[in-house]
């Protein structure tokens, strides 16, 4: 049975990899992920805010202080809160690249046009085989149109692509009026892949202190369905690879991701909860299921439940909405 797949033009031994997370902070964890069978190592993000803070400090000929921050707001982390500064991030890629035999994917994360995008080149020089670009943007200005939000990402992609030759994937938000149309635009602009989706961490409200408080809860499998629907819709419409990110906790979730059309499935919360070795179990169960159901390859499974190929496409459309509402009996 053939578990291999291709993602961003890279041949991978299987379709399961850790997503961007603190798991890349420690070389020991990276080693354990590779030993557990990860198809590639995904770095956590290097953030625009870290890069611009360092650049400002260098420009002002001041020491790059661990306490310096590009923003006055207390909501922004201080530089010392980031596990690795920009230089150490690049060193970490180089160390990981030397240590593992699987591809290493860097991650660059920012929202504005500027010098930070040049770090894509440094990430490539450090040894990354590909780059994930995360434009985690919250459109807080009601005067900014959806078209302008999309153009922002396309412009950043263009700038990043101009500084590298490695493939670039874009990690998408699900908050677009027409995610399929936007994925097509990214594809036409040379994105080698789309990662669906970013998880938006919604702040909570502290009603006593009158504060919005940051909140991170790990995902569960219910978050998978949004990804399944949109990948099913987009599969077959773009040349770019598709990575599923969000809500993968069981081997069944991996199968569903491949069936709707993902080239690879990224997993974070489940590995943070159960440890890197959990990946080996997911992979073994996935492979056993494929064997029991007489699949010869991952390629054979891919897209069988996409909108274009599934027996009842209406399940991804408005009909599903009407049906589920009528199924609720009081
Ligand atoms: C603690 C933590 C740190 C993360 N760091 C990053 C990051 O640096 N860059 C990024 O693009 N996504 C980051 N993510 C998001 C994950 O890559 C992933 O998209 C999200 O957790 C959904 O996948 P999951 O349901 O498997 O957890 C992080 C997630 C967690 C929980």
Domains of the chain and any CATH numbers: 5-44+83-327 (3.20.20.70)
Which residue did the predictor score with more confidence, 57 or 163? 163
From the CA of 47, give the closest atom in ligand 1: 8
Closest ligand 1 atom to 45 CA = 8
- List, in sequence order, every residue forming a beta bridge with 297; answer none if it has no partner: 2
State the average pLDDT over residues 309-328: 85
Q: Which of 41, 174, 228, 268 to mutate to test the pocket of ligand 1 (most atoms within 8 A of CB)?
A: 268
Give the residue-averaged pLDDT of 105-131. Answer: 95
Range in 71-80, 105-114, 292-301, 320-329 with the lowest mean pLDDT:
71-80
- Is the CB of residue 79 below 6 angstroms from any atom belonging to ligand 1? no
Q: Which of left, alpha, beta for 137 (phi over 0: left; psi -120 to 50: alpha)?
A: beta
The per-residue pLDDT for 71 is 47
Cβ partners under 8 Å of residue 131, min gap 6: 105, 106, 107, 108, 120, 123, 124, 160, 164, 166, 167, 168, 169
Cα end-to-end span (Å), the chain: 48
pLDDT in tens, 247-294: 999 999 999 999 999 999 999 999 999 999 999 999 999 999 999 999
**Best mutation site among 47, 168, 193, 199 for ligand 1, i.e. most ligand atoms within 8 A of its Cβ?**
199
- pLDDT number for residue 72: 47
CB 219 near ligand 1, within 6 Å: yes
User: Residue for token digits 């219910």?
Assistant: 222
């Amino acid at each position: 049975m053939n578990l291999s797949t291709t993602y961003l033009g890279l041949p991978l031994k299987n379709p399961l990899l850790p997503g961007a997370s603190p798991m890349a902070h420690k070389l020991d964890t990276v080693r354990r992920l590779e030993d557990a069978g990860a198809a590639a190592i995904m770095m956590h993000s290097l953030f625009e805010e870290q890069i611009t803070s360092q650049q400002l400090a260098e420009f002002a000929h001041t020491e790059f202080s661990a306490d310096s921050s590009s923003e006055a707001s207390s909501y922004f982390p201080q530089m010392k809160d980031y596990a690795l500064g920009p230089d150490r991030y690049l060193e970490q890629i180089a160390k990981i690249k030397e240590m593992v035999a699987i591809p290493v994917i860097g991650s660059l994360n920012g929202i504005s046009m500027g010098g930070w995008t040049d770090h894509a080149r440094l990430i490539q020089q450090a040894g990354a085989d590909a780059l994930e670009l995360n434009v985690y943007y919250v459109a807080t200005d009601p005067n900014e149109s959806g078209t302008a939000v999309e153009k922002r990402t396309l412009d950043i992609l263009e700038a990043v692509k101009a500084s590298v030759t490695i493939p670039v994937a874009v990690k998408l938000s699900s908050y677009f009026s027409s995610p399929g149309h936007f994925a097509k635009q990214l594809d036409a602009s040379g994105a080698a892949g789309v990662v669906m989706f970013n998880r938006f961490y919604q702040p909570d409200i502290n009603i006593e202190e009158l504060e919005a408080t940051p909140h991170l809860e790990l995902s569960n499998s219910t978050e998978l369905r949004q990804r399944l629907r949109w990948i099913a819709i987009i599969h077959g419409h773009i040349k770019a690879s598709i990575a599923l990110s969000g809500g993968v906790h069981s081997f069944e979730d991996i199968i569903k991701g491949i069936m709707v059309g993902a080239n690879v499935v990224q997993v974070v919360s489940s590995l943070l909860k159960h440890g890197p070795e959990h990946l080996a179990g997911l992979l073994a169960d996935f492979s056993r299921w494929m064997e029991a159901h007489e699949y010869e390859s991952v390629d054979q499974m891919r897209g069988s439940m996409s909108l274009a190929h599934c027996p009842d496409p209406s399940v991804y459309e408005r009909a599903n909405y009407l049906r589920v509402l009528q199924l609720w009996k009081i």
